[in-house]
């Protein structure tokens, strides 16, 4: 029996290098249905167009409140009938209504070893805290900002002469391995958000994030 493709919508705000990693990974049975950006000049839109993926822009600047933006965003996403929504550098806080609508089918990548350093400026904060290790996490999105159950992480060392840019680049290179791996688990139906609020992999709840080597 031929398996139907899993339809994925990717949300971006900027460079889209994680989007590029998903394109390059050529994950079997995965259909990148659309890329949506809140920023009209996001370079990731060009990456999508080059790969022949549909693109759409919904600028938050035309909205006075978050609820009406997110209502339109949800309508736009749903036009592509996704099985999975992938936040890849989408730099907006989402309303609980939108997040609930995509419960169990929305992933985010965050540049820290969650639960450490939720929010912005994670690399600067890791340096200021004199962390010896830093990294990135992929998690299911829940209403709590950067607080949903973590599925998998990559770790990198913090080196003596690092500044935030050097550290960010080291983390980003590993993000490009992390996100396609987790998205592939989802397409293979190995991954789900359980009713217990935990991430489940291969039929068992994850008590700790998977660490990718």
Least distance to ligand GAR, CB of residue 52, Å: 19
Rounded CA separation 33/18 (Å): 16
- Reading the block at residue 19, the tokens are 């989007």
Rounded CA separation 29/68 (Å): 34
Instruction: Name the residue nearer to ligand GAR (CB basis): 6 or 42.
Output: 42
Instruction: Name the residue nearer to ligand GAR (CB basis): 12 or 33.
Output: 12
Residues shown for the chain: 213
> Residue 171: CA atoms inside 13 Å, Cβ hemisphere, count?
25
Rounded CA separation 108/148 (Å): 9
Eight-class DSSP state of 83: S
Q: How many other β-carbons are positioned within 10 Å of the β-carbon of residue 73?
A: 23
Residue numbers at the binding site for ligand GAR (CB under 6 A): 12, 14-18, 44, 88-89, 109-111, 136, 172, 175
- In which residue are the tokens 């998977």 written? 210
Query: Which residues is 108 bridged to in the sheet?
Result: 87, 139
Least distance to ligand GAR, CB of residue 14, Å: 4
Instruction: Name the residue nearer to ligand GAR (CB basis): 27 or 88.
Output: 88
Q: Is 134 a catalytic residue?
A: no
Between strands 210-212 and 84-87, the pairing is unpaired
Instruction: Name the residue nearer to ligand GAR (CB basis): 6 or 12.
Output: 12
Least distance to ligand GAR, CB of residue 68, Å: 22
Residue number with the smallest Cβ distance to ligand GAR: 89
Question: Which one is catalytic: 60, 110, 123, 139?
Answer: 110
Annotated catalytic residues are 110
């Amino acid at each position: 029996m031929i398996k139907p493709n899993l339809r994925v919508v990717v949300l971006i705000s900027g460079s889209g290098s994680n989007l590029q990693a998903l394109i390059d990974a050529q994950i079997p049975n995965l259909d990148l249905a659309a890329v949506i950006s809140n920023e009209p000049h996001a370079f990731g839109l060009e990456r999508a167009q080059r790969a022949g993926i549909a693109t759409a822009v919904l600028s938050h600047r035309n909205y006075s409140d978050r609820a009406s933006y997110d209502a339109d965003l949800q309508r736009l996403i749903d036009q592509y009938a996704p099985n999975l929504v992938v936040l890849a550098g989408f730099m907006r806080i989402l309303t609980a209504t939108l997040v609930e609508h995509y419960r169990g089918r929305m992933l985010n990548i965050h540049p820290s070893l969650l639960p450490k350093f939720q929010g912005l400026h994670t690399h600067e904060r890791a340096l200021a805290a004199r962390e010896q290790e830093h990294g990135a996490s992929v998690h299911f999105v829940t209403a709590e900002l950067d607080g949903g159950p973590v599925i998998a992480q990559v770790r990198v060392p913090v080196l003596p002469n690092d500044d935030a840019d050097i550290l960010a680049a080291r983390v980003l290179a590993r993000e490009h391995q992390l996100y396609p791996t987790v998205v592939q688990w989802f397409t293979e139906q190995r991954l789900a958000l359980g009713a217990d609020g935990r991430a489940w992999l291969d039929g068992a709840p994850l008590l700790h994030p998977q660490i990718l080597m």
